[in-house]
């Protein structure tokens, strides 16, 4: 059984904290206007909280004096801004053309069988969330996926098992 919403302490919705505000203020020194800071602010919140809740999005909008709808538009456009809680390790799975030619569908089926999750879902233990993404820029070593910050190339069922085992053992 899978869960799309993991209810853990770290996934609780909240407004901005002092550390996040300090980082957003730093971004404001780098960009000419507050609107340009919006995406960076969303990334900062996601880095700290794992996702961007409505409360946090409204907090950013208020802080930057931007319409919340504009910020929601930015968050929706960039599908790597997570608007609901995700697992500890997000699997960004490339299903673009080169990876598709090199058999990513079979790799996706293997992940589905191994972890019991489909796109947009999180494992029951909250360890993994699977998300499809367009090209990860390493097409000559397809199929490719990212787990957290790490890129994994030339995927096979065995290498996927190894990656999952390593992550689970941490």
Binding site for ligand FES (CB under 6 A): 94, 96-99, 135-139, 142, 144
**Which residue, 104, 135, 108, is CA-closest to 119?**
108
Question: Between residues 112 and 141, which has the closer beta carbon with respect to ligand FES?
Answer: 141
CA 107 to chain centre: 19
User: At closest approach, how far in Å is the CB of 41 from ligand FES?
Assistant: 28
Question: Between residues 124 and 138, which has the closer beta carbon with respect to ligand FES?
Answer: 138
CB under 8 Å to 134, separation ≥6 — which residues?
Answer: 94, 96
Provide the token pair at 71: 């910020």
Phi, psi of 22 (to 5 degrees): -60, -40
User: At closest approach, how far in Å is the CB of 154 from ligand FES?
Assistant: 11
Question: Between residues 13 and 80, which has the closer beta carbon with respect to ligand FES?
Answer: 80
User: At closest approach, how far in Å is the CB of 167 from ligand FES?
Assistant: 20
DSSP letter assigned to residue 3: B
User: At closest approach, how far in Å is the CB of 101 from ligand FES?
Assistant: 8
Question: Between residues 94 and 117, which has the closer beta carbon with respect to ligand FES?
Answer: 94
Return d(Cα 2, Cα 20) in angstroms, integer.
31
């Amino acid at each position: 059984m899978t869960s799309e919403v993991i209810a853990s302490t770290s996934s609780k919705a909240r407004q901005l904290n002092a550390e996040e505000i300090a980082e957003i203020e730093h971004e404001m020194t780098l960009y000419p206007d507050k609107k340009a800071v919006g995406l960076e602010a969303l990334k900062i919140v996601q880095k700290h909280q794992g996702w961007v809740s409505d409360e946090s999005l409204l907090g950013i909008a208020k802080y930057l004096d931007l319409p919340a709808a504009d910020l929601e538009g930015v968050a929706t456009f960039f599908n790597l801004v997570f608007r609901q809680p995700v697992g500890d390790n997000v699997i960004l799975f490339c299903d673009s053309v080169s990876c598709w030619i090199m058999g990513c569908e079979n790799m996706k089926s293997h992940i589905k069988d191994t972890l019991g999750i489909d796109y947009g879902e999180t494992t029951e233990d909250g360890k993994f969330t699977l998300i499809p993404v367009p090209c990860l820029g390493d097409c000559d070593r397809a199929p490719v996926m990212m787990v957290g910050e790490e890129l994994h190339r030339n995927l096979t069922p065995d290498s996927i098992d190894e990656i999952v085992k390593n992550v689970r053992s941490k």
